[in-house]
Amino acid sequence: MSKKSGKYLTTGEFAKLCKINKQTLFYYDQIGLFSPEFKNEKGYRFYSIHQIELFFVIELLKDLDMSLSDIQHYMQNKSPETFLTMMYQKKDEIVKKRQEIEIKETMIDAKIRLMQEAAKLDFNRIILEELPRTTLYLSRNIENIADEGFVEAISNFVDELYLSHLDTGYPIGVLTKREQLVKGEFSNYSYLYMEQPKPKKGYSYFETVPGNYLTGYHIGDEKAIDQTYKRLFSEMERLNLTLGNYALEEYIYDTVVKNEKEEYITKIMIHVREKG
């Protein structure tokens, strides 16, 4: 059958139709992956319109990260059953990738929202605010842990969040229980935590107490954070409040957006009650 029948395309025509360059077709032919329907006596390649679908499937598999050697293996062992199995496998992979992308999108949305909110804050103010119940995912207890152990605890918590798909894009915070606060051990944290706006089933969570929180901001290196806690406790006394169950700390600005520790901002939320 000749090209004049109108049922065949030259290499250039086929490449244009498939939106690729001719070199790709030459290479596929060279490695035996995808060859023209026939070559004439002068060596010119001609492709059948019936090959278009096969070429698109090859490109689809490439886009799905299937290696050329694996595609070649399929081409040499074609069958409806093999093709269907391959399509099911690739669909499962796409579903997984879509879920991963959605998780990352949620994380990015959270970071955008938090940064936009931070731009409106007055870091010199201490306010009494009513906060709703919030769901947190906690680390193991880290009270009285040594400095090197604290680094390990953070590393383990980050790994746990990643493996369990519980990283929501919110900052990793620390929860310090009342017992430590009363003793002035403001850096003797009880747990690491991350907020979970949409808790997943199958995990244990901690729910904060809804109610009044005295909120302030520590500016600078965390080594001097006890001074900010003292300011908060003085304000607590002035407002005739008493310490509640715990304090929560979260970075507003840290090394992600600031180069100097003097510019770091830590948000402190102390659960409080009215004195009886």
- Tens digit of each residue's pLDDT (9 = 90 or more) over 7-31: 789 999 999 999 999 999 999 999 9
DSSP states along 185-207? -TT--SEEEEE-SSPPTTS--EE
Q: What was the pLDDT predicted at 69?
A: 92
Higher pLDDT, 276 or 116: 116
Average pLDDT of the residues of the chain: 93
* Nearest Cα to Cα of residue 208 among 117, 137, 118, 113: 137
DSSP states along 225-251? HHHHHHHHHHHHHHTTEEEEEEEEEEE
The mean pLDDT value for 42-58 works out to 92
Query: Any idea which residue has 């498939």 for tokens?
Result: 18
Q: What was the pLDDT predicted at 267?
A: 97
Percent of the chain surpassing pLDDT 70: 98
Phi then psi dihedrals of residue 188, to 5 deg: -90, 75
Q: What was the pLDDT predicted at 6?
A: 58
Question: pLDDT per residue over 56-101, tens digit each?
Answer: 999 999 998 899 999 999 988 889 999 999 999 999 999 999 999 9
Confidence of residue 4 (pLDDT cuts 50, 70, 90): very low
Query: Any idea which residue has 């400095």 for tokens?
Result: 147
Predicted confidence (pLDDT) at residue 3 exceeds the cutoff of 90: no
Alpha-carbon span 6 to 4, nearest angstrom: 5
Written as six digits, the tokens of 87 are 């399509």
Distance of CA 82 to the CA centre of its chain: 34
Predicted confidence (pLDDT) at residue 266 exceeds the cutoff of 90: yes
Q: What was the pLDDT predicted at 223?
A: 87
The mean pLDDT value for 214-222 works out to 95
* Dihedral sign from CA coordinates of 14, 16, 22, 27: negative
**Are the C-beta atoms of 37 and 47 separated by less than 8 Å?**
yes
